[in-house]
Structure 1
Amino acid sequence: MESQKMLGGLMNRVKPYLAMISMQFGYAGMYIITMVSLKHGMNHYILAVYRHAIATLVIAPFALYYERKTRPKMTFRIFLQIALLGFIEPVLDQNLYYVGMTYTSATFASATANVLPAITFVLAIIFRLESVNFKKVRSIAKVVGTVITVSGALLMTLYKGPIVDFIKFGGSGGGSDGAGGSHGGAAATELDKHWIPGTLMLLGRTFGWAGFFILQSFTLKKYPAELSLTTLICLMGTLEGTAVSLVTVRDMSAWKIGFDSNLFAAAYSGVICSGVAYYVQGVVMRERGPVFVATFNPLCVVITAALGVLVLSESIHLGSVIGTIFIIVGLYTVVWGKGKDKRMTDDDEISKGLPIKNPVKQIDTGKGLAGELEMKPKEGQETHKTTQVEI
């Protein structure tokens, strides 16, 4: 009996980590599947619309069932926040990324995406979601860990170095070196002409993604229903994305979709990387904050590189190995600092006789999406005395 309690406690502690790591695997698969779809002629504006339409249809039944008794009242202010969330990530963020990547290069686009933890950390400090006291080791750990993580991601993206032969694949990988010398003079001139606007688009995309995390964190405080919020974000993203697509895409035949890679890309990215991802990051964010969620983003680079080696028999370079080590060390440092922050906050409130902030939400059932990442208090135990999961 005692061992079962210990095992249950361990599982509750590691759930946030497993959830965020699983999300990065989902994102890594999305990049590969989406690129196949785009190469087959799928318009990225329309892909974003189908993606969030499918996510809405899949997540809505769970929201209607599991949160039918706990869904807060909708106010005009919350509606405006949801409308803004639906525009920032589903419409603005995703389309800026695709257009910016075509104006610069895939390598540069990946590099700008990997500074997300740093931008999120700065915005969280500005909006007082994070506190930094350089007299405290835990605060220094968060800052240093963020710098190490971003540095590792940039190193992994921008520096290749010699090939490291962990496994003999019997052939040299034909790596793509970006917009190199294979392009003609006219192509290089065209690329240079669009480099500045492309860079601004990619930076805007990264700021938008970080802003989405911050705004989602504030919205969850007033509307603590993750499944319902996810459904509404995807719904607003579908409606707003449709309006943008009708203006930018004049060829109505571009909306045609069949049972092919385009439909699979829309379904996979919609269900996994929009529906499930928005919900999971919302649940974790209520407990750990937006910086904790954003810090795991560079892991996607590591996972993608590993999948490239194992599945596609690609070569792995020294830069990827060193960058991976940096990312793991930096991620651990940030998570350690965040864990200390949480312990200190809970200890201070307990010593003052106050209830712990952001108690774990009670739900009717522990099954399904709504119960995976939340704990139900023991029978007879008051909600404000629920023990919060700590790391």
Structure 2
Amino acid sequence: MAAGSGSIMWKAQLALLVTPLIYGCYHVVTKVALNHGVNQLVFSVLRDLIALSVLAPLAYFHEKQMRPPITKSLLMSFFLLGLLGIFANQLLFLIGLKYTNATYAAATQPAIPVFTFLFSAIIGVEKVNFLRYEGVAKVGGTIICVSGALLMVFYRGPVVIGNEEDNVSQTEIGSEGQPDSSSRLLIDGLKDIVFDEFSVGVMCLIGNCMCMGAYLAIQAPMLRKYPTNISLTAYSYFFGTVLMLIVSVFMTNGISDWTLTGSEILAVTYSGILASALGYGLITWSTKILGPTMVALYNSLQPFCSTALSLIFLGSAVYLGSILGGTFIIVGLYIVTWGSYRERQADANNVGVIHNESCVLDPLIQK
């Protein structure tokens, strides 16, 4: 039994090593598609349709006998999950990726567990005890991580690795494509305030992390009411895709925006099947075996995978700001996850002690 358990844990850890590579490749492949001028809304709609076509049949057949009945409250919750986790999350990520690069996109992703902790604390899912060093570590790590995210927005610094001219040319290629009304309104509005396109792109990436953090925080109590996680994700993708379709009708410029080249079709297919359906499946399965803390720790490998891939395939420059900010984010992530792990260990030990004491003091009551 122990050997079998160890084998499953080893497989889960292997899955978590594969997941950062999947998302690292996703960042690079998607950046290439955006550089060719693909519309962000069109990309998101097609990606979500592909993911939904994979998740919906899987949820229907695999969880057919386990799904609770649907209520109006559940439908509203599914809509909120689709709005935050699918619609806003994906759109902000693609806008941010278009105006930055794959390295910055991956460097901000480790902030997702920290934002998840913040929103979980606000809605009461996560507790914070300032009288214990675990609680102080969680808050301190959150501050460090958010500071790293802000550092990446306001400080770029000199180029440390790569060629700055190549990076500038890539940004120009991404901006020279057919203008996307979905991102142009946001970019033009924020540029009037004093931000350049690169800073707005990083802000969108941070907004993407915040939306994903809220999505995960809301999911925690939702999974207690609706424990079939694949079906929950399929419903979220359904509402997110509907929102994408509605907005795309008003924000695209006719059939020309929906015409994709071979590389763009490949990027959409990869994003839908691997980055969305398979990536979520691996993370969810690993969370059931190893717990969310270990999954969050493995997620910090994503910036390194994306940086290596973007340097190899795109020649993206790595700036000092991304290194310093990314370091702050990863350090903060480790502190937060360590504090959460120690806190859960202490709570489990306290529960065990209370249970043992009650058995010793009142052994006949249970009889």
Q: Which category describes the TM-score, using the shorter chain as reference length?
A: 0.7 to 0.9
Range moving further from structure 2, 119-128 or 322-331: 322-331
Q: Does residue 263 in structure 1 map to residue 265 in structure 2?
A: yes
C-alpha distance in 1 between matches for 2:149 and 2:294: 16
Query: What does 1:269-288 align with in structure 2 at a 5 Å threshold?
Result: 269-282=271-284
Query: What does 1:6-17 align with in structure 2 at a 5 Å threshold?
Result: 8-12=4-8
Contact kept? 1:58, 1:271, Cα under 8 Å: yes
Aligned to 2:257: 254
Of residues 338, 341, 345, the one that matches 2:340 is 338
C-alpha distance in 2 between matches for 1:296 and 1:150: 19
Contact kept? 1:217, 1:289, Cα under 8 Å: no
C-alpha distance in 1 between matches for 2:104 and 2:273: 24
Question: Is the alpha carbon distance of 1:160 and 1:108 closer, same or farther for their aligned partners in structure 2, counting shifts above 3 Å?
Answer: same
Matched AA of 1:86: G
Higher helix share: 2
Matched AA of 1:58: V
Range moving further from structure 2, 239-248 or 202-211: 202-211
Q: Does residue 176 in structure 1 map to residue 167 in structure 2?
A: yes
Matched AA of 1:127: I
C-alpha distance in 2 between matches for 1:320 and 1:52: 30
Matched AA of 1:125: A
C-alpha distance in 2 between matches for 1:314 and 1:205: 21
C-alpha distance in 1 between matches for 2:18 and 2:144: 22
Matched AA of 2:310: G
Q: Does residue 208 in structure 1 map to residue 196 in structure 2?
A: no
Question: Is the alpha carbon distance of 1:45 and 1:159 closer, same or farther for their aligned partners in structure 2, counting shifts above 3 Å?
Answer: closer
Q: Does residue 146 in structure 1 map to residue 145 in structure 2?
A: no
Q: TM-score, normalised by structure 2?
A: 0.73
Question: Is the alpha carbon distance of 1:291 and 1:159 closer, same or farther for their aligned partners in structure 2, counting shifts above 3 Å?
Answer: farther
Question: Is the alpha carbon distance of 1:29 and 1:349 closer, same or farther for their aligned partners in structure 2, counting shifts above 3 Å?
Answer: same
Contact kept? 1:27, 1:273, Cα under 8 Å: yes
Query: What does 1:162-241 align with in structure 2 at a 5 Å threshold?
Result: 163=160, 174=165, 176=167, 192-193=191-192, 198=200, 204-241=207-244
For the aligned residue pairs, the C-alpha RMSD in angstroms reads: 4.2
TM-fit CA distance, 1:127: 0.9
TM-fit CA distance, 1:225: 0.9
Please state whether the residue corresponding to 1:263 is helix, strand or coil: helix
Question: Is the alpha carbon distance of 1:83 and 1:328 closer, same or farther for their aligned partners in structure 2, counting shifts above 3 Å?
Answer: closer
TM-fit CA distance, 1:148: 4.0
TM-fit CA distance, 1:47: 1.0
Aligned to 1:64: 60
C-alpha distance in 2 between matches for 1:261 and 1:79: 36
Q: Output one character per residue of 1:167-223: Cα deviation in whole Å (capped at 9) or x when no partner.
A: xxxx9675536989xx9xxxx999832656958766654432222112222221211
C-alpha distance in 1 between matches for 2:32 and 2:211: 25
Contact kept? 2:110, 2:333, Cα under 8 Å: no
Of residues 242, 246, 263, the one that matches 1:243 is 246
Question: Is the alpha carbon distance of 1:225 and 1:267 closer, same or farther for their aligned partners in structure 2, counting shifts above 3 Å?
Answer: same
Of residues 46, 50, 56, the one that matches 1:50 is 46
Contact kept? 1:217, 1:286, Cα under 8 Å: no
Q: Output one character per residue of 1:30-50: Cα deviation in whole Å (capped at 9) or x when no partner.
A: 121112222223211111111
Aligned to 1:378: none
Of residues 123, 126, 129, the one that matches 2:122 is 126
Question: Is the alpha carbon distance of 1:160 and 1:89 closer, same or farther for their aligned partners in structure 2, counting shifts above 3 Å?
Answer: same
Question: Is the alpha carbon distance of 1:317 and 1:207 closer, same or farther for their aligned partners in structure 2, counting shifts above 3 Å?
Answer: closer
C-alpha distance in 2 between matches for 1:264 and 1:112: 25
Contact kept? 2:28, 2:314, Cα under 8 Å: no
Query: What does 1:292-371 align with in structure 2 at a 5 Å threshold?
Result: 299-309=301-311, 326-353=328-355
Of residues 76, 82, 94, the one that matches 2:78 is 82
Contact kept? 1:28, 1:301, Cα under 8 Å: yes
Contact kept? 1:55, 1:275, Cα under 8 Å: yes
C-alpha distance in 1 between matches for 2:277 and 2:80: 17
Contact kept? 2:93, 2:204, Cα under 8 Å: yes
Contact kept? 1:150, 1:298, Cα under 8 Å: no
TM-fit CA distance, 1:114: 6.1
Contact kept? 1:114, 1:150, Cα under 8 Å: no
Question: Is the alpha carbon distance of 1:20 and 1:233 closer, same or farther for their aligned partners in structure 2, counting shifts above 3 Å?
Answer: farther
Please state whether the residue corresponding to 1:176 is helix, strand or coil: helix
Q: Work out the number of aligned pairs and report it.
A: 336
Of residues 2, 5, 14, the one that matches 1:5 is 2
Question: Is the alpha carbon distance of 1:303 and 1:48 closer, same or farther for their aligned partners in structure 2, counting shifts above 3 Å?
Answer: same
* Structure with bigger RCO (C-alpha 8 Å, 6+ apart): 2
TM-fit CA distance, 1:108: 12
Query: What does 1:14-25 align with in structure 2 at a 5 Å threshold?
Result: 19-25=15-21
Question: Is the alpha carbon distance of 1:288 and 1:143 closer, same or farther for their aligned partners in structure 2, counting shifts above 3 Å?
Answer: farther
Matched AA of 2:230: L
TM-fit CA distance, 1:294: 6.3
Contact kept? 2:166, 2:315, Cα under 8 Å: no
Contact kept? 1:94, 1:205, Cα under 8 Å: yes
Please state whether the residue corresponding to 2:167 is helix, strand or coil: coil
Residue ranges of structure 2 left out of the alignment (5+ in a row): 176-186, 357-367
Contact kept? 2:311, 2:317, Cα under 8 Å: yes
C-alpha distance in 2 between matches for 1:308 and 1:328: 19
Residue ranges of structure 1 left out of the alignment (5+ in a row): 165-170, 355-391
C-alpha distance in 2 between matches for 1:140 and 1:288: 24
